[in-house]
Amino acid sequence: MAQYSAQLDGVFVALADPTRRAVVRRLGRGSTSVGELAREFPMTLPSFMKHVRTLEANGLIRTVKSGRVRTCELNRDRLALVDDWLAEQRRTWEERTDRLEQFVTDPEEDRQ
C-alpha cells in the first residue's frame, strides 16, 4: 500500500506535465523514435530526453535502443493504476451515498 502510493505518485507526477501527456498520447497512436517525438516539441533534445526518462522511470513507456535510434513504446498497463485509484474513490463515495440513503430510510441505524 505504501509502495503502491509511491508508484501512483510517480504516475501522477509523470502525467502532470503537458509535454509528457502529449508523448503518452502520441505513443497511443504507435511507437516511434525519440528524435521523431522530439520534433513535435519546442525544446532541445536533451530537455526532451529528460521527459522521456521520467516517463520510462515511472513505467509509462518502455524504450529500446537499436543502433543509434531509441524507440519508445507506450505501456498501457501503467495507466491502469490511475484508473484503479479513481475507481477506489468512486467506491468510497458510493459507500457513503449508500449510508446516507440508509440514514434517510432508517435514521436510527446511522446516527453518529
Partner DNA sequence: CGAATACTGTGCCATGAGGCTAAGTATTGC
Partner DNA sequence: GCAATACTTAGCCTCATGGCACAGTATTCG
Applying CB under 7 A, the span of 22-30, 39-47, 85-93, 95-103 interacting with DNA comes to 39-47
Site string for DNA, 74-93 (x = CB under 7 A): --------------------
Which one, 18 or 46, has the nearer CB to a second copy? 18
Kindly tell me which residue out of 28, 43, 86, 89 binds DNA, with binding defined by CB under 7 A.
43
Q: Are 40 and 72 in contact (CB under 8 A)?
A: no
Which one, 63 or 75, has the nearer CB to a second copy? 75
103 touching a second copy, by CB under 8 A: no
* Beta bridge pairs of residue 61: 74
Which one, 47 or 92, has the nearer CB to a second copy? 92
* Beta bridge pairs of residue 33: 71
- H, E, C per residue of 71-102: EEEECHHHHHHHHHHHHHHHHHHHHHHHHHHH
Contact set for DNA, span 44-73 (CB under 7 A): 44-47, 49-51, 54, 65-70
Backbone angles phi, psi at 110, to 5 degrees: -130, 20
- H/E stretch holding 32: strand 32-33
